[in-house]
Structure 1
Amino acid sequence: MTGASRHFVLAAGGTGGHLIPAFALATELDRRGHHVALVTDKRGAELPGKPDFLPAHVLPAGRFGKNPLHWPAGIKAVLEGRRMAMQLFETFGPSAVVGFGGYPSLPALLGAVAADIPAVIHEQNAVLGRVNRLLAGKVQAIATAYPDVQRLKPSLADKVHLVGNPVRAEVLGLRDQPFPAFTEDGILRVLVTGGSQGARVLSEVVPDGLAMLQPALRQRLQVTQQCRPEDIEAVRARYRGHDIPAELGTYFEDMATRLADAHLFIGRAGASTIAELTAVGRPAILVPLPIATDDHQAANTQELVKAGGARMIRQAGFTPKQLAKQIQVMAQHPETLATAAHAAWNCGRPKAVQDLADLVEGFGGVDLMDVIRVGANNERGASQGEAASHGAAKDNVV
């Protein structure tokens, strides 16, 4: 434990992308002897994976769509949520409130600003989200997962701290394991996921793309693919028709183990996915969700692609032929995949949760710790993933 026990409130939207890092921070703060509470919506309170020690408070948040007729109701809900958050703060006495984005985090952060309680926001994506954008000028610190974040005003640079995106402990535990052996005649294990419910475009394109690989590579495939329930039988028929062995499921509880065994990942580019790929060091072909707000999934791929750890294909150009072409380039030689894996690994920031906790602990009782500040003091954050070796060459993919 660092210093005296204090209280912290974490506020996050009800999706895994916002809540997974919140849960990770809650666990780290609890380990350090602090008391933590969660503010979220009904979905977030029921999301699997919430630590047992973490009480969840459901506050009205409201949403603001494009129709101005819905705005008065949204504003009313936010104001009610802010009032309830301030009541919680009076009894809980937080040293700081930490927001992870999503509309359910807005009332708590507004309440913190109104009550003059220090506030921190954590941005998981490479584009500052709408709620975080609204509060960025009012909070004391902005923690980011990427060195370059779009929609973040240059005038706020002094508040910015590069910490990374916390990942699940079982995934982080795989970081020191070497990239699985892949030889000229060995099995090529491909892992395909599209989020919690899979992605239809992956089900439609990936089987046919794999079938277009050169025979010497195609006959060595072993595929694991997560599919939507309504798509799974059609996908199974496609793989059977192509004579490609594939294990299909709508959900895999042992996803960390499957990621550890994979030589190549194909899927979306959500913040948690990128964080896990870089934590473990797995090369990827990423297909950003085209309807993602502010095209943030495409932005999420930029650091990894530039490093040589992944290739990005826009969904409009994600055809079987294009997929086969990219796989052929990445997997035609064992050393090519291993090099890409190491490049991905070097993008990882394995100390994300500790550094975020250090930043948050800086409020209430001790001086604000200047951890990993973007700009002149960014060396540590940019190099968290570097190490002497990872069972692969250091050179980037050409």
Structure 2
Amino acid sequence: MTLSRHYVLAAGGTGGHMIPAHALAEELIRRGHRAALVTDARGARIPGLFNGVQVHVLPAGRLGGGPIGWWRALRNIYTGRAMASRLYETFRPAAVIGFGGYPALPALMAAQRDGIPTLVHEQNAVLGRVNRLMARKVDAIATAYPDIDRLSPKHEPKVHLVGNPVREEVLELRDQPYPALSEDGVFRILVTGGSQGATILSHVVPDGLGLLPEHFRRRLQVTQQCRTEDIDRVRSVYARLGIPADLATYITDMPEKLAWAHLVIARAGASTIAELTAAGRPAILVPLPSATDDHQTANAREMAKTGGARMIAQRNFTPIELAKQMQKLGLSPAALGNAADRARLVGRPDAARDLADLLERTGQELGSDPLVAEEMVLRPVSGGAFA
């Protein structure tokens, strides 16, 4: 019989950190464990994640901003560490795992001070700042890619390749065939750029599709994420081109839209890559150049090298270049189907299972008796914050 344990997941408040943490929490709960989330105010506001999971908010400790900014950050980090320790006194986690982002730092620091096993999970192909800070002290490092930049060779013995956990609804697409596409059938394009990346796509994609030969352009249907300030202009461009387009500032039903799409044009965030490769969808990827350590370019390498995606650097991302790449892919259903297969090849659909296994194993080998945790009574938490 599997014993029920408690685990704390600590993640910064962006989708790239929160979605894999959410997928892991669901896997742990399926196994009969209890999970609690430590995040910041942004993470607590993301809809549709961590239902039924205790959510604890602590102050963000972003480093920077000169001496005053550093002082405030350090104050928040040590305040957060004390708050996390109070949670651990009652929740008694078998292990604590950080997914990056500044809220993970005090949560991991508190666990290490209290003798609780710790892990980090790196979603990107470049080790993030918080994970770099904690890499020396944690008991295990889980990665999403086989090659991770800025990871010291001395830490390699505790590295475990697991992939990026994705939502169950996306995993279900893996068992579905790539949408049928004939040479004269409707060609469906999904365009998504995230909050930081939608403007360049809103400028280039409509104009690029407008350069396609008329017989190809008439086949197109588009679903596109746009910033609020761009949406009216983009809608008018598509109307002028005669391309049916569904535009929104936030795509709430992403698994459904992935199932619908023949091709995705997107940034190269970690969750985007994980979902594309889990579902098996070909893509044109435009890495965000301002991403820390240029990690989106690194994220796109594996999928592009395998042939599941075309990568275009933002400096080269013009309507003409997009139209050229669209014709290379889109005018051949066989080429698209092959790219979909190659995208699926680099997917790691068992990431949530493998990460949960690693978390359980680390907690069992290095943690305290799990029966102690099961006997603890959780202290009530008001308003999602630490008591």
Tell me the TM-score normalized by structure 1.
0.89
Alpha-carbon deviation of 1:113? 1.3
Letter in 2 for 1:20: I
Contact 2:117 2:366 in 1 (8 A): no
Match of 1:129 in 2: 128
CA deviations 1:38-77 (Å, max 9, x no partner) are 1111121222123332111112231112524311221111
Contact 1:96 1:360 in 2 (8 A): yes
Alpha-carbon deviation of 1:197? 7.4
Alpha-carbon deviation of 1:339? 0.4
Deviates more, 1:133-142 or 1:61-70: 61-70
Match of 1:32 in 2: 31
Match of 2:174 in 1: 175
- Matched position secondary structure for 2:2: coil
Structure 1 portions without partners, runs of 5+: 369-398
Contact 1:4 1:365 in 2 (8 A): no
Match of 1:115 in 2: 114
Paired with 2:210 and 2:39, the residues of 1 have a C-alpha distance of: 44
CA deviations 1:6-31 (Å, max 9, x no partner) are 11111110111111111111111111
- Matched position secondary structure for 1:143: strand
Q: How does 1:208-223 map to 2 (within 5 A)?
A: 208-223=207-222
Q: How does 1:185-334 map to 2 (within 5 A)?
A: 185-196=184-195, 199-334=198-333
Contact 1:197 1:228 in 2 (8 A): no
Q: How does 1:330-341 map to 2 (within 5 A)?
A: 330-341=329-340
Paired with 2:341 and 2:19, the residues of 1 have a C-alpha distance of: 25
Q: Which consecutive segments of 4 or more residues in structure 1 shift more than 6 A?
A: none
Q: 1:208 to 1:364 in 2, by over 3 A?
A: closer
CA deviations 1:339-372 (Å, max 9, x no partner) are 001000111100000000000011333589xxxx
Letter in 1 for 2:327: Q
Deviates more, 1:128-137 or 1:330-339: 330-339
- Matched position secondary structure for 1:52: coil
1:89 aligns with 2:88: yes
Paired with 1:28 and 1:245, the residues of 2 have a C-alpha distance of: 39
Alpha-carbon deviation of 1:255? 2.1
Paired with 1:345 and 1:256, the residues of 2 have a C-alpha distance of: 15
Paired with 1:162 and 1:66, the residues of 2 have a C-alpha distance of: 35
Contact 1:269 1:287 in 2 (8 A): yes
CA deviations 1:55-113 (Å, max 9, x no partner) are 11112231112524311221111111112211211221111000000001100101111
Paired with 1:264 and 1:68, the residues of 2 have a C-alpha distance of: 47
Contact 1:197 1:227 in 2 (8 A): no
Paired with 2:60 and 2:242, the residues of 1 have a C-alpha distance of: 50
Contact 1:9 1:39 in 2 (8 A): yes
Contact 2:197 2:267 in 1 (8 A): no
Paired with 2:269 and 2:119, the residues of 1 have a C-alpha distance of: 22
Paired with 1:317 and 1:68, the residues of 2 have a C-alpha distance of: 39
Match of 1:155 in 2: 154
Greater helix share, 1 or 2?
2
Paired with 1:168 and 1:249, the residues of 2 have a C-alpha distance of: 21
Alpha-carbon deviation of 1:152? 0.6
- Give the percent of matched residue pairs that are identical in Structure 1 and Structure 2: 63
- Matched position secondary structure for 1:161: strand
Tell me the TM-score normalized by structure 2.
0.92
Match of 1:362 in 2: 361
Contact 2:226 2:247 in 1 (8 A): yes
Alpha-carbon deviation of 1:154? 0.9
- Matched position secondary structure for 2:149: coil
Contact 2:95 2:363 in 1 (8 A): yes
Paired with 2:208 and 2:342, the residues of 1 have a C-alpha distance of: 25
Letter in 2 for 1:136: A
Contact 1:99 1:120 in 2 (8 A): yes
Paired with 2:359 and 2:4, the residues of 1 have a C-alpha distance of: 13
Alpha-carbon deviation of 1:198? 6.3
Paired with 1:189 and 1:12, the residues of 2 have a C-alpha distance of: 34
Paired with 2:251 and 2:9, the residues of 1 have a C-alpha distance of: 28
Paired with 2:83 and 2:302, the residues of 1 have a C-alpha distance of: 40
Contact 2:235 2:247 in 1 (8 A): yes
- CA RMSD in angstroms comes to 1.5
